[in-house]
Amino acid sequence: MARQPDGPPPPPTVQKLRLRYTKRGPLRFASHRDLARALERALRRAQVPMAFSAGFSPHPKISYVGAAPTGAASEAEYLEIGVTRPCDPEAVRVALDAALPAGIDVVECVEAGQGTGSLADRIDASVWRLELAGVEPAELGSAVAAFLAREEVTVAKRGKNGPVDVDARAAVAAATVAGDPGCAILTVVVRQVTPAVRPDDVVAALAAVADLRPPSPTRAVREAQGRLDDTGRVADPLGPDRLARTHCQGERATV
């Protein structure tokens, strides 16, 4: 029989909260691991009554969904936490936001609605805004048209076990071009596939099909995440929860 840790089991999860937060400014260069540590420390400082796993190495019940790559900013990062007593989602949002460094801003917190599925099941695409300084909108438009006309555009990227080829074209659901002279802007809807297609993979694909090579690094901002529908719209992943219960019933946690 497997050994069990001494003492009583940890308190159960009585409520799940889903949060949207940002990654802005210099913190866009922080790794996902660094951001996770910052969020866990902030949850402790905010005195959120976190639920923990059982076993000899308990850890807080936090689930991250679709973290943005290092170097990319984001207006739509998501996580889910389990708590051991009912909390007011807005109180948790305010307390956690105050405990986090500037650049990580908690912009929304909702209670996970019963029977509404998992948060991960609601996210299969991202909307990215790519700013290409030194590139004219017309030049970018021609490159995007050439890219969209292809059935497949393969680019090489670094994987855990060495370089791997990914089809950037298959992952791109839509792309539009805007901007001003000297700075073109590409808004692109990218499906979440394996291996993941990142914004720099899309830029590499434009170089492959049209020799488009921005003179300076592309600035990438994730504007939204959600489930892609047949019309090309990316649905808000917190929408079903917001339509269910916005506040908990009964006791409120002081955070």
Over residues 133-158, mean pLDDT: 96
The answer to whether 124 and 191 are in contact (CB under 8 A) is yes
Question: Bridge-partner residues for 163, per DSSP?
Answer: 158
pLDDT tens, 69-103?
999 999 999 999 999 999 999 999 999 999 999 99
Q: How many Cα atoms occupy the beta-carbon half-sphere of 39 within 13 Å? A: 29
Which amino acid would we find at residue 225?
Answer: Q
Report the pLDDT value the prediction gives residue 157, as an integer from 0 to 100.
Answer: 86
Tokens at residue 4, please? Answer: 């069990």
pLDDT at res. 135: 97
Q: Which of the four pLDDT bands, split at 50, 70 and 90, describes residue 247?
A: very low
Per-residue pLDDT at 42: 98
Domains and CATH numbers, the chain: 15-118+237-243 (3.30.70.580), 135-215 (no CATH)
Is pLDDT above 60 for 40? yes
Distance CA 253, CA 246 (A): 15
Lowest mean pLDDT, pick from 43-47, 66-70, 142-146, 207-211: 66-70
Answer yes or no: is pLDDT of 4 > 80.
no
Residue 250 has pLDDT above 90, yes or no: no
Lowest mean pLDDT among 29-38, 156-165, 190-199, 234-243: 156-165
The pLDDT of residue 161 is 76
Q: What are the residue ranges of helices labelled H in the chain?
A: 32-45, 89-99, 137-149, 168-171, 199-210, 239-243
At 87 the pLDDT is 97
Global confidence as pTM: 0.90
pLDDT band at 56 (very low <50, low <70, confident <90, very high): confident
